[in-house]
Amino acid sequence: MLAVAALAGIAVWQAPAASASVPLQYTTNRYVGSAVAASYLASEPDYRAVLTREFDNVTPENEMKWGTIEAVRGQYDWSGADAIVRYAQQHHKTVRGHTLVWHSQLPDWVAALPADELRRVLRDHITTEVKRYKGKIRAWDVVNEIFNEDGTRRDTVFRQKLGDGFVADVFRWAHAADPHATLYINDYNIEGLNPKSDAVYELVKTLRKQGVPIGGVGIQAHLSTQYGFPDGYRANLARFAKLGVDAAITEADVRIPTPPDAAKLATQASYFGELWDGCQSVRRCVEFTTWGFTDRHSWVPDVFPGEGAACLFDENLRPKPAYFRINP
């Protein structure tokens, strides 16, 4: 634009576009999502505006976790989850429900229950939450992070008290509560081919053979530029697709050592680009969701000291090189 104006001899300065002319959500036939926090959605108009413009799926960052919904037994707080679902309905966005069964952000009172009671309470929890939003949730992360890095099962209270079979049970309970939602297993460090993604692959294969209603594999994709881009990412997506399930990038972010500079942002852009292009290349990769969209509110600096700036937009909601890599 500047060049054209200069050629034409017009002395008009034009600010660089605040974002690409076509919002990200319209550049692909995949769902393009972000994790969202109900508090910022209510209190920050600029945050809400960018979310509304760029994305067509939302995933509640914390609002649907057990620790939020029922921190104290019998006292439910649906306020945040309800607000996000209401926003999604008003703006014609889909919702990814996150997450029904997770060892983390799990109330102590649940972890303390004896086996038979835990089973009843778990079934009630899933049934109550899934039914509340029946027809309004496109996909549910039913189980989250049930494997260790070496491919063995994570030793959670669910496994200790209910045995490995709890996984098949929770998918059946969720399906009974909302037969139209696609039900996912979700985990991190399963982007590439490795012992952990092998274990997820074998479990999904087994569950499908048993007729368990699992419909997708959620790949979190919390990446760091200190490590190489995951080996075998596309082959991994392809093997899940061959099992007849969907795949989704559910929590993408690419953290860099802080402070950011041009070279680090360029590396970050190439990681986001690989993630995005790989998903575009596999028909069954149906969703690309990032874990927050602005560095203003990312979880990364709290959890990974010395790293941050992991999102597509900076603190001031300006699109970063990674954004322009996937939406040139």
- Short-list 312, 282, 277, CA closest to 295: 312
Decide if 117 is catalytic: no
CB of 300 to ligand XIL, least distance (A): 9
Cβ closest to ligand XIL, residue 276 vs residue 291: 291
CB-based contact 105:65 (threshold 8 Å): yes
Q: Write out the DSSP string of 64-76.
A: TSHHHH-SBTTB-
Handedness of CA 61, 79, 174, 183 (dihedral sign): negative
Burial 15-46 (b: 16+ CB within 10 A, else e): eeeebeeebbbebeebbbbbbbbbebbeebee
86 token code pair: 């209401």
The residues binding ligand XIL (CB under 6 A) are 61-62, 144, 220, 251, 299
Between the CA of residue 116 and those of 11, 72, 194, what are the distances in Å? 77, 20, 35
- CA-CA distance, 286 to 250, in Å (whole number)? 10
CB of 40 to ligand XIL, least distance (A): 11
CB of 251 to ligand XIL, least distance (A): 6
The burial class, CB within 10 Å (0-12 / 13-18 / 19+), for 184 is buried
Cβ closest to ligand XIL, residue 70 vs residue 251: 251
Burial 66-103 (b: 16+ CB within 10 A, else e): bebbbbeeeeeebebbebbbebbeeeebbbbbbbbbbe
Cβ closest to ligand XIL, residue 84 vs residue 321: 84
CB of 116 to ligand XIL, least distance (A): 28
Cβ closest to ligand XIL, residue 89 vs residue 105: 105
Cβ closest to ligand XIL, residue 37 vs residue 327: 37
- Short-list 131, 107, 126, CA closest to 171: 126
Decide if 145 is catalytic: yes
One of 63, 70, 251, 274 is an active-site residue; which one?
251
Handedness of CA 282, 283, 284, 288 (dihedral sign): positive
Select the residue whose beta carbon is closest to ligand XIL and give its number: 299
One of 145, 191, 274, 287 is an active-site residue; which one?
145
- CA-CA distance, 328 to 19, in Å (whole number)? 10
CB of 299 to ligand XIL, least distance (A): 3
CB of 119 to ligand XIL, least distance (A): 23
Angle (nearest 5°) at CA 170 between 234 and 118: 135
Cβ closest to ligand XIL, residue 214 vs residue 311: 311
Residues identified as active-site? 145, 251
